[in-house]
Chains A and B, each alone.
Chain A
């Protein structure tokens, strides 16, 4: 009762939603890069929002489903195909037994989440050529593909360059000119971008002081100023502490948007405040929960109607 990884991708993992409570030992929380897309994918298949799921980069893995199950793909558009038929994003999909899933061409975004009804075993693991077991044995048995006739609104995940940030402890270290540049100039994401951090390309930033700072905690979204005047945004697999000046922090609600940026994509930072950050986050979470509620109703309705055929 499992999926077979037919071909391995470059950076595909079974992801969780972050390990809590171990940062005092230097153990990072990790977890999904784009919590919004991952939560929506889980909502669409009727899972709890933080169920373990596949996080897929391009070039992506190829998967054979040994048993039919319900999946959803949310996030990047990699032209997913099932047995030669293109699959849409943001919808529940009933996969037939022995269906083969491939991702043939990246269109936009960086990471796609594949949620499977019931979840998967083996969190945090890099996907290798092997089987991945379902947490719960799917009750379905379908020999044909079925794409459900409803979809989630993921308008939140607009692919705009605007990213909102809160000033960091060492913001004042940047000189006036660098502060101005940081706030309005578009920067490109560099090729040095992975689950640990995204580096940005811009003119060298200058500081008022070169004084070393004492190492202290950092967070998902912390923007560090490197000694060479360049910056890095710390992402999901960030270290727990660091000694580079923390000039700003990406607000939680904009982390999913940032996570989906690829090398060469533009970002423009805008300063905001705690109150706005909280409001944005609460609104985003509400949106996810609404999708979860509607999805559950629709799935229940569908299974009642079709219980004989499946």
Chain B
């Protein structure tokens, strides 16, 4: 990976009540390790007025109480200065528990209705798509979008697809691809990813997500086409 990513970061506003620290431009395990480490650092030593932290692939978002921040001498700039001080501290790489989840998948058919279109658009044979999708052991980069939705990477670049132009209703267990990402919808929701398969693997217990950021996922194909 690019060594600059280890030191370099960029901070931008996410509206008037949150800022995002971006640690890199690409999806890779090294950048994501940085995100998780900084996330833990801000969790362990909270800054006054911070309400929530949202780690993602390559960024960490800090949501703050606008009442508290607006009272600071120079408003948001005071908070950003404080954040920068935190980022100067050495990185403690937190050992990930990194559990491996083997997730059985039925590809194509009624619950994988975009597989055919992906095959046509990419000019790749159906079974080759299954092979390429099930080949890697994916990393859970982050949870987001809806409770327990795990963003998995990195998808083989041969399978890169844009999101759909408008979100569609998804059923629990739908396995989708978009860009260099793949993921599983844990509950009914609208979604814009291309659905290529389905799993019955339980993703939530009593509403609590099974997958954690840093875990690994291996898809086990149950069928050939």
A positions within 8 Å CB-CB of B:
20-29, 166, 168-169, 210, 212, 214-222, 226-228, 239-244, 246, 249-252, 274-275, 277-279, 281-282, 285
Residues on B with beta carbons closer than 8 Å to the beta carbon of A27? 147
A26 touches B149 (CB 8 A): yes
Determine the residue in chain A with the shortest Cβ distance to B77: A274
State whether the Cβ of B18 lies closer than 8 Å to any Cβ in chain A. Answer: yes
Residues on B with beta carbons closer than 8 Å to the beta carbon of A277? 16
Determine the residue in chain A with the shortest Cβ distance to B161: A212
Assembled-state Cα–Cα distance A277/B151 (Å): 33
B54 touches A241 (CB 8 A): yes
Residues on A with beta carbons closer than 8 Å to the beta carbon of B18? 217, 219
Q: List 22 A-B contacts (CB under 8 A).
A: A21-B52, A23-B144, A24-B53, A26-B146, A28-B147, A169-B20, A214-B179, A215-B57, A215-B151, A215-B181, A216-B22, A217-B18, A217-B20, A221-B15, A222-B14, A226-B167, A240-B144, A241-B54, A243-B178, A249-B14, A274-B13, A282-B70
State whether the Cβ of B61 lies closer than 8 Å to any Cβ in chain A. Answer: yes
CB distance from A169 to the nearest CB of B (A): 5
Size category, B interface: 35 or more
B144 touches A217 (CB 8 A): yes
Residues on A with beta carbons closer than 8 Å to the beta carbon of B17? 219, 252
Assembled-state Cα–Cα distance A281/B15 (Å): 13
B20 touches A24 (CB 8 A): no
Assembled-state Cα–Cα distance A220/B162 (Å): 25
B162 touches A227 (CB 8 A): yes
Residues on B with beta carbons closer than 8 Å to the beta carbon of A244? 163, 192
Contact of A274 among B27, B75, B179 (CB under 8 A): B75
State whether the Cβ of B165 lies closer than 8 Å to any Cβ in chain A. Answer: yes
Residues on A with beta carbons closer than 8 Å to the beta carbon of B39? 24
A251 touches B165 (CB 8 A): no
Q: Contacts A214-B56, A227-B162, A278-B69: A26 and B143 contacting too (C-beta < 8 A)?
A: yes
Interface centre among B12, B14, B59 (most CB of A within 10 A): B14
State whether the Cβ of B76 lies closer than 8 Å to any Cβ in chain A. Answer: yes
6 smallest A-B Cβ distances: which pairs?
Answer: A241-B144, A249-B15, A217-B61, A277-B16, A217-B54, A26-B143
Residues on B with beta carbons closer than 8 Å to the beta carbon of A215? 56-57, 142, 144-145, 151, 181
Assembled-state Cα–Cα distance A274/B74 (Å): 11
B76 touches A278 (CB 8 A): yes
Residues on A with beta carbons closer than 8 Å to the beta carbon of B16? 166, 249, 251-252, 274, 277-278, 281
B56 touches A241 (CB 8 A): yes
Q: Contacts A216-B61, A217-B56, A249-B16: A26 and B51 contacting too (C-beta < 8 A)?
A: no
Residues on B with beta carbons closer than 8 Å to the beta carbon of A239? 144-146
A218 touches B14 (CB 8 A): yes
Residues on B with beta carbons closer than 8 Å to the beta carbon of A212? 162-163, 178-179
State whether the Cβ of B116 lies closer than 8 Å to any Cβ in chain A. Answer: no
Residues on B with beta carbons closer than 8 Å to the beta carbon of A214? 26-27, 56-58, 179
Determine the residue in chain A with the shortest Cβ distance to B183: A215
B163 touches A169 (CB 8 A): no
B165 touches A227 (CB 8 A): yes
State whether the Cβ of B29 lies closer than 8 Å to any Cβ in chain A. Answer: no
B12 touches A25 (CB 8 A): no
Residues on A with beta carbons closer than 8 Å to the beta carbon of B103? none
A241 touches B163 (CB 8 A): no
Assembled-state Cα–Cα distance A15/B145 (Å): 21
B163 touches A23 (CB 8 A): no
State whether the Cβ of B63 lies closer than 8 Å to any Cβ in chain A. Answer: yes
Residues on B with beta carbons closer than 8 Å to the beta carbon of A275? 75
Residues on A with beta carbons closer than 8 Å to the beta carbon of B70? 278-279, 281-282
A26 touches B178 (CB 8 A): no
B66 touches A29 (CB 8 A): no
Residues on B with beta carbons closer than 8 Å to the beta carbon of A282? 67, 70
B147 touches A216 (CB 8 A): no
Q: Contacts A26-B148, A274-B13, A275-B75: A216 and B56 contacting too (C-beta < 8 A)?
A: yes
B53 touches A219 (CB 8 A): no
Interface residues of B in 106-132 (CB under 8 A from A): none
Contact of A226 among B27, B144, B147, B166 (CB under 8 A): B166
Contact of A243 among B52, B54, B67, B179 (CB under 8 A): B179
State whether the Cβ of B94 lies closer than 8 Å to any Cβ in chain A. Answer: no
B163 touches A227 (CB 8 A): yes
CB distance from B77 to the nearest CB of A (A): 9
Assembled-state Cα–Cα distance A219/B58 (Å): 17
Contact of A219 among B22, B26, B55, B63 (CB under 8 A): B63
Assembled-state Cα–Cα distance A239/B67 (Å): 23
A274 touches B76 (CB 8 A): yes
Residues on B with beta carbons closer than 8 Å to the beta carbon of A243? 163, 178-179, 181, 192
CB distance from A308 to the nearest CB of B (A): 41
Contact of A217 among B14, B147, B163, B178 (CB under 8 A): B14
Residues on B with beta carbons closer than 8 Å to the beta carbon of A274? 13, 16, 75-76
